[in-house]
Structure 1
């Protein structure tokens, strides 16, 4: 019979046997390797995933999204929960704001509306009726800011809901544990 380990997390307790802990550690290591491989071609100063950077993700959602590793990890977490439409919408809006051509802006605004805003759309985001109707009108003559209200709502939802769950998730905790173990090894 395997021995049991009780690990506190806030007010909750999780019971894991040694095999589960080992499996989680391997998952964390594999994910860490995948993250570093994804960005190994990059020559930026943030070329390696570090414990310090990963710990800073817990300071704010903004800090998490500013990190290429943080963003990739958060997206992976949301996909695992089948709730990645919010981050996809938010990122799409960030790209949309960079469009200079009015023709491309009009085309992209319609695609965003069809994909994320329209009722029953494939990746419908959770926004109120008033905001949805305002965007419907705005898309007819789109500007750089026609999705700003919805983007703020979605950011707030992620900040209050998804982000705290991410910080408590196995994927984030295991990543921190593996990085801390690597740091102590030298």
Structure 2
């Protein structure tokens, strides 16, 4: 039923590109494990070993803190229609902030999103599929617009204030460097 690959086969790249939802899991060496749902057309497959996803402002910033300290990440995709499948990508991520030089190269890959705070660049080391027969069917009804509207209303200065107040540290007190480079 399940298979493992060292790179993403083309049929799975096509599957990933069709997904409206994916999940991201990270953990530091100690503290809490983070698991977050992602959407908003925020993922791009660059090739069979590399993908990037745009992270927008949220109530926490666990992923950035975890990646900085212990760079490992799992992305999971589920087939909610068609043939059942769960696809996991395991790899080594890098976090790229708007102040990093790579931002100028990678950010144009995405539709501009208010509140964009990081891009995660994942080098894929293992691809694993599993049956997914226990995943129910779901119909996609559309995107939620509340987060974008909230970020647009706050404006750039308001978003930076929010980062300062809510996004500089993880739940476990680990620095995210959302506002300033690591020294």
Decide: shared fold, TM above 0.5. Answer: no
Bigger relative contact order, structure 1 or 2 (CA pairs below 8 A, ≥6 apart): 2
Higher strand share: 2
TM bucket (normalised to shorter chain) is: under 0.3
Higher helix share: 1
